[in-house]
Amino acid sequence: MASNDLLVCRGLSASVDEKPILHAIDLTVPQGEVHVLMGPNGAGKSTFGHVLMGDPAYELTSGEISFDGEDVTELAPDKRSRAGLFLSFQAPVEIPGVPLRSFLRAIVEGRGEKVKNKEFRKKIQELAKTLDMDPAYLDRELGVGFSGGEKKKVEMLQLLLLQPKLAILDETDSGLDVDALSVVSRGMELYRETCDGTLLIITHNTRILEHLEVDRVHVMVHGHLVAEGDSSLIDEIDANGFERYEAQLADAK
Ligand code: ADP
Ligand code: MG
């Protein structure tokens, strides 16, 4: 393991309800890099994100996960989050009755940090402004009646507030409108600029990658990682899809 490797997965296999989904995944993300995980619908990309976060719905049947030099394979999700892992979900949360402001405070305090009221107000106010978000949203109920773009802004606000060491962004395969796409792009850029953040972006939609320098692309098909390469892979997949990789995997079996 190189000393600057932030995330190292070795031989990860995972099942849901005894059905194997992920097969012996080896994947490494060095600190400060931007990695992309691509693959057709149902390949297991979101499952991989959930397994990295320790979601109990997924059973790890073999392998290990090392993060920032620590073996986190057995750690509970909250401990992983404290260690600096962040996953943005495909379906963002809605919590009626809880103002966004209180939710943001709770996630920061949940990490064991003390927050001073005044400073915190100022900080989230400023972050909202940098994301072109109307500060009035901070007093609205979390997620309730938010548009797709507004939900994405909340997600990016969380990202910039928490400044995790690794952000895993799992984007919906469709349904991100132009506004939401630009919010995600802007959020990712700010995260890179403000804390030299490391990104693992799970996506179909290569448009959100346009403003980023991608270091490495991983391709997943039927729960297997079947290819890895530089950013030229993105254009290749945009042009040709995943059929070649699916055929290769079928031949190898
Ligand atoms: P992707 O994100 O690449 O589209 P997913 O990881 O969502 O793929 O799904 C991979 C496979 O695992 C699919 O066959 C899906 O039905 C199954 N799967 C994922 N999560 C669950 C779950 N919680 N319960 C049952 N099946 C699941
Ligand atoms: Mg998915």
Q: What is the per-residue pLDDT for 214?
A: 95
Residue 64 has pLDDT above 90, yes or no: yes
Atom of ligand 1 nearest to the CA of 40: 3
Q: Mean pLDDT across the stretch 65-82?
A: 94
Could you say which ligand is closest to the alpha carbon of residue 169? 2
Neighbours of ion ligand 2 (CB under 5 A): 45-46
Q: Assess contact for 87 and 170: CB atoms under 8 A.
A: yes
* CB-based burial, 53-92: b 16+ in 10 Å, e otherwise: bbeeebebeebebbbbeeebeebeeeebbebbbbbbeeeb
How is the chain split among helix, strand and coil, in percent rounded to 5? 40, 30, 30
DSSP 8-state code for residue 209: G
Q: Which residue type does 30 have?
A: P
Mutation to probe ligand 1, out of 16, 41, 200 (largest number of atoms < 8 A from CB): 16
Q: What is the per-residue pLDDT for 91?
A: 55
Range from 49-63, 196-210, 214-228, 234-248 carrying the lowest mean pLDDT: 196-210
Q: What is the per-residue pLDDT for 233?
A: 95
Mutation to probe ligand 1, out of 15, 36, 45, 47 (largest number of atoms < 8 A from CB): 47
pLDDT confidence band for 112 (50 / 70 / 90): confident
Q: What is the per-residue pLDDT for 92?
A: 57
Two tokens, residue 101: 């402001």
Q: Mean pLDDT across the stretch 18-32?
A: 97
The residue ranking higher by pLDDT, 166 or 103, is 166
Atom of ligand 1 nearest to the CA of 47: 6
Residue 57 Cβ contacting ligand 1 at under 6 Å: yes
pLDDT confidence band for 2 (50 / 70 / 90): low
Task: Please report the DSSP string for 42-68 in residue order.
Answer: TSSHHHHHHHHHT-TTSEEEEEEEEET
Q: What is the per-residue pLDDT for 124?
A: 93
